[in-house]
Structure 1
Amino acid sequence: MIQTKLIPRTTEAHEPPLLIKNLLAQSLKYEPQREIVYRDLFRMDYTRFNQRVRQLANVLTDLNVQPGDTVAVLDWDSHRYLECFLGVTSTGAILHTINIRLSPSQILYTMNHAQDKVVFIHEDFLPILAAIKPQLTTVETYVILSDKVYTGTSEINSLAELPEGFSGEYEALLKGASEQYEFPDFDENTWATTFYTTGTTGNPKGVYFSHRQLFMHTMGLLTYIIGYEAMPFKGSTDVYMPITPMFHVHAWGFPFLATMMSAKQVYPGRYEPEVLLKLLITEGVTLSHCVPTILNMLVSSPAAPKFKQNLSRWKVLIGGSALTKGLAKAATELGITVMSGYGMSETAPVMAVGYLNEQEKQLSPEEQIDLRTRAGRISPFIEMRLMDDDGNFVPHDGHSLGEIVARGPWLTQGYYEDPERGADLWKGGWLHTGDVASITPDYWVVIADRTKDVIKTGGEWVSSLDMEDVLSQIEGVAESAVIGLPDDRWGERPHAIIVQKPGYTLQAEGIKAGLQAKVERGELHKWYVPDRIVFVTEIPKTSVGKIDKKKIRSEMKELILGK
């Protein structure tokens, strides 16, 4: 760092820290009458929301939660979760968003590792808690979350009826708490949130973020999503509904942005296709984000064409896995505006979002699909480079490949109590993503593959994502996954599994013949014809809806090779 001259400081001058409570404060200034909706069960305006967040802070105080203590949440996407996003963190406590799709043993590990003190748990997950509760080492009390209180059917009416170790039911505790609470100032580098990534080996890794990092991530989204209108989001007309679990990287940070803007927000609870579609229509949802699996589920619904007029207002940011051209075309035909984004758990997560400039907006829909399915343009305030195996930077010429490395104001500092893997993540002062990509001179990021998923065959690298993209455009293909398996002659060879759309009967040899014809016409590389294609009813997914290629390689190897 160079030597600079600092501005003189005045003792009396206030230097406000960048805190999550400041995002909350904006929600009351301009449009407090807008609503936050939970399924068809509950709705409130921002005035009531702010009151409830302060009531939650008082409940935490009554439960002896101190600054630096960890409060865990196991819930579906709800208004309660949003209140914890703002309320738990603004007291100076740490919010642990538990991945409800982990195995009970993994949930147990994360709760003990994070040293959870208080746990907010939806009644649907009480069986999981019953299995692990005797082995929890730091939890002092539990608060139950119930949807039944909104329908008047809750059986939990008094502390005497609660299981041992429970302090009360969420709504009852809020009702008895004061609406007055002054959120304190503290250092902006204070730890705000933690969650656990599901790695391919070993225990889940704890990722953590400070108030400053989450504040700056919100500013990055504000600049790119609203300022540059990468995915136009106007508080006056747009309605936001996440379809990415709130336990997964803060639902990509959008709840903080939507709250700051006092935009109408809709929380769908447990993901059920008919509920999602109903909320999209009845609440006028215009902006969502999700993994391709969810979009494919909605686009493939027999009911979807009936609501084309409603869907034509819907903008969807896709991340977590590659958006294939086939899925993008299917969504576009329903009038849905789709765009890709890129990031990872360790980056809070957004580092790139698709942005069409004035020239690109004049392109034909077919030409735009090619851009919309790229990983996006590099976000404001993010530095992104490509690096080869020797640590040298690779040019941004749109062709040269390298591992994406990044720096920015909201990237995690490491892994909790795992300095070795943290040092490996930040080797050489750059965060290493493990993704192989090219970057164009105009900042478009084109992901080739995960380093572990690139197929090394015949001395060349073949992108499994590119192969999946080609397969997605074949009529009758609903989903596909491509992996490399050992081959004595070529090192590795690509193998594909395919889910067919209802009503289609595809043949492996027919698909391979069609791909070979493209090779002969010079449209595809010769390596893009899989050695074997196997049809399955379902492709294995991770807990956040990504294609689980590790599981495919380990558990479906026998099926794919036909042994």
Structure 2
Amino acid sequence: MQDRPLDVAMLMRRAADVFPYKRVVTATASGEVEATWGEVVTRARRLAGALDRLDVPAGARVGTFGWNSQRHLELYLAVPSAGRVLHTLNHRLFAAELTYILADASDDVVFVDRSLLPTVWPVLDGVRHVIVMDDGGEQPIPDDPRVLDYEELLGEEAEPATVAETDAASLCYTSGTTGRPKGVLYSHRSIVLHTMTVLSADGMAISERDVILPIVPMFHVNAWGLPYAAAMAGADLILPGPRMTPADLAGQLTRHRVTVTAAVPAIWRGLEPLLPGLDLSALRLTVSGGSALPESLARSYQETAGVTLSSSWGMTETSPLVTLARLGRTHDGLDDSARREVLCTPGRPVPLTEVRLVGEDGEAVAHDGVTPGEVQVSGPTVASAYFGASSSGSSFTADGWLRTGDVGTLDRDGYLRIVDRTKDLVKSGGEWISSVTLENEIMAHPAVAEAAVVAVPDQRWGERPLACVVLAPGGAVTADDLRTHLAGRVASWWVPDEFRFVAEIPKTATGKFAKAALRRRIAG
């Protein structure tokens, strides 16, 4: 067989040669900008030439601070195909974290959307060039010789560099919920294989007919692979730019008749009040990931707008998709409630990924849907070590599997359920309590918007669950009401001794509950 590398340039060629007329639409401060895949690829090749003229070394990291936009998409294509490494950075992180990440990655040049300049400029001291992408923001541009204009850089096209499929293509750092952020380096091969997984029938089944809106940020694990999937499939790609309000997102979903979209539960919660007035009939796949999908939220979308939310699960270390909740033949005949319950689980492993459960004794756990074990994953889209100064430590097993830190069960049909993070389980009287299950049951109460459960010390039982609750707008409920609500839903000894009603629950930069910060706040 022909020995052709699986590389990002392959995705570029397919988008330009087969689907040059398909659309890429970006929301801006003043409206929308539309281009074709052919135009995007041409500009990406010109951008690759600019990296040569800037003398960016081969294999060097090229940082980006950008919204979901056409220019960011051009960087997705240009940087890896030019033999450099795309390093997407999360501008929502604290300055100390960004300073650490930039130093650990040794970024040579950084591309920044103009509207983000005030946020990230203080951490860019060690960068050789700062290239500003004008996203319509009115923020002043620093008078500094390192600052260059994106559009002025674009010149002659450059041919793709010669790369091996195992060469590094992109870099993303974990959110640092357990210590310092850790770098995960993706190869050209892993990106192409993950793209094919997303396109597969047991993945997201993306095709040329789709209109894709990745709400998940492009700085977060390659936007879950959706930009690359759109390029390979020739799907229309709709990008929200800096306009991330629920009203803006709702407008794009309806105006462009979006068929596939993906975001974290916090986004779906924000859109929920707008559902009664929206025509979302074009949506065929609405993916939720990043944290557990509450059944109450899925029910609201189904009953109010006829939209089915599908849960997914993965990590920065896994490119990220590992499992996706899709209904199988085994679920034929289930009623709506039972089907929704299945779709709120992480689902079944997608092609090219393997999942196993390991008990505290190091032995394999039965796939009976009941017995929990640590979730471990492997496959060609899963990291084997961390990049930079971070020690891989105990994150990987002796036989090469990634230890996810999640505890879950697998049933006989291969469907995964996440019970908890190992560090978030509550051990009360020698028995485990799942904070995730408790949170979902509390959030099933109509007066509750969000709930996070953490362990607190208890003299008698060792630990007991404490629930922090955010009320829905106009909602009113007492601790006794919630205890009554939980009766029959969970074991009586699972019911929290204390409920604290709070204005908000601290979250990580990627929208997950920041349990460590919550525990510190409670301890204080």
> TM-score, normalising length from structure 2?
0.95
Q: For residue 335 of structure 2, what is the amino acid of its counterpart?
A: S
Contact 1:414–1:422 under 8 Å retained in 2: no
Kindly indicate whether residue 222 of structure 2 is the aligned counterpart of residue 250 of structure 1. Answer: yes
Distance change >3 Å, CA 399–CA 201, structure 1 → 2 = closer
The unaligned stretches of length 5 or more in structure 2 are none
| Equivalent residue, structure 2, for 1:480 | 451
Query: Which of 429-438 and 310-319 deviates more?
Result: 310-319
Q: CA–CA distance in 2 between the matches of 1:120 and 1:260?
A: 25
Match of 1:398 among 369, 389, 401: 369
Q: CA–CA distance in 2 between the matches of 1:499 and 1:107?
A: 30
Q: CA–CA distance in 2 between the matches of 1:312 and 1:467?
A: 34
Kindly indicate whether residue 347 of structure 2 is the aligned counterpart of residue 381 of structure 1. Answer: no
Q: CA deviation at 1:29?
A: 3.4
| Equivalent residue, structure 2, for 1:30 | 18
Contact 1:496–1:532 under 8 Å retained in 2: yes
> TM-score, normalising length from structure 1?
0.88
Q: CA–CA distance in 2 between the matches of 1:506 and 1:291?
A: 26
| Equivalent residue, structure 2, for 1:71 | 62
Q: CA–CA distance in 1 between the matches of 2:148 and 2:225?
A: 29
Q: CA deviation at 1:425?
A: 2.8
| Equivalent residue, structure 2, for 1:534 | 500
The unaligned stretches of length 5 or more in structure 1 are 1-12, 157-161, 559-563
Q: CA deviation at 1:513?
A: 2.5
Deviations 1:134-193, CA, capped at 9 Å, x for gaps = 4x2xx21111011239xxx8987xxxxx6213352112322xx12x32213321110111
Q: For residue 148 of structure 2, what is the amino acid of its counterpart?
A: G
Q: CA deviation at 1:106?
A: 1.2
| Equivalent residue, structure 2, for 1:41 | 32
Match of 1:284 among 241, 244, 257: 257
Deviations 1:167-224, CA, capped at 9 Å, x for gaps = 52112322xx12x32213321110111121122343211111111111111122222x
Contact 1:439–1:445 under 8 Å retained in 2: yes
Q: CA–CA distance in 1 between the matches of 2:352 and 2:109?
A: 36
SS at match of 1:448: strand
Q: CA deviation at 1:486?
A: 0.9
Kindly indicate whether residue 89 of structure 2 is the aligned counterpart of residue 101 of structure 1. Answer: no
The 5 A counterparts of 1:433-472 are 433-472=404-443
Kindly indicate whether residue 144 of structure 2 is the aligned counterpart of residue 164 of structure 1. Answer: yes
Q: For residue 75 of structure 2, what is the amino acid of its counterpart?
A: C
CA RMSD of aligned residues (A): 1.9
Kindly indicate whether residue 199 of structure 2 is the aligned counterpart of residue 192 of structure 1. Answer: no
Query: Which of 445-454 and 410-419 deviates more?
Result: 410-419
Q: CA–CA distance in 1 between the matches of 2:515 and 2:37?
A: 43
Match of 2:383 among 412, 419, 425: 412
SS at match of 1:285: coil
SS at match of 1:54: helix
Q: For residue 280 of structure 1, what is the amino acid of its counterpart?
A: L
Deviations 1:339-396, CA, capped at 9 Å, x for gaps = 1111111111111111211342442211101100111101112121101123211111
Q: CA–CA distance in 1 between the matches of 2:341 and 2:74?
A: 39
Q: CA–CA distance in 2 between the matches of 1:202 and 1:187?
A: 33
Residue identity (%): 36
| Equivalent residue, structure 2, for 1:210 | 187
| Equivalent residue, structure 2, for 1:183 | 160
| Equivalent residue, structure 2, for 1:9 | none
Deviations 1:40-84, CA, capped at 9 Å, x for gaps = 331101111111111111111111123211110001111111111
SS at match of 2:251: helix
Report the number of matched residues. Answer: 519
| Equivalent residue, structure 2, for 1:3 | none
Q: CA–CA distance in 2 between the matches of 1:399 and 1:133?
A: 50
Q: CA–CA distance in 1 between the matches of 2:228 and 2:130?
A: 26
Q: For residue 287 of structure 2, what is the amino acid of its counterpart?
A: L
Distance change >3 Å, CA 126–CA 200, structure 1 → 2 = same
Q: CA–CA distance in 2 between the matches of 1:147 and 1:416?
A: 31
Contact 1:142–1:165 under 8 Å retained in 2: no
Distance change >3 Å, CA 268–CA 358, structure 1 → 2 = same
Kindly indicate whether residue 234 of structure 2 is the aligned counterpart of residue 262 of structure 1. Answer: yes
Please say which structure displays the higher CA radius of gyration.
1
Q: For residue 46 of structure 2, what is the amino acid of its counterpart?
A: Q
Q: CA deviation at 1:231?
A: 4.0
Q: CA–CA distance in 1 between the matches of 2:467 and 2:228?
A: 39
Contact 1:415–1:422 under 8 Å retained in 2: no
Query: Which of 417-426 and 32-41 deviates more?
Result: 417-426
Contact 1:312–1:337 under 8 Å retained in 2: no
Query: Which of 431-440 and 211-220 deviates more?
Result: 211-220
Q: CA–CA distance in 1 between the matches of 2:507 and 2:381?
A: 28
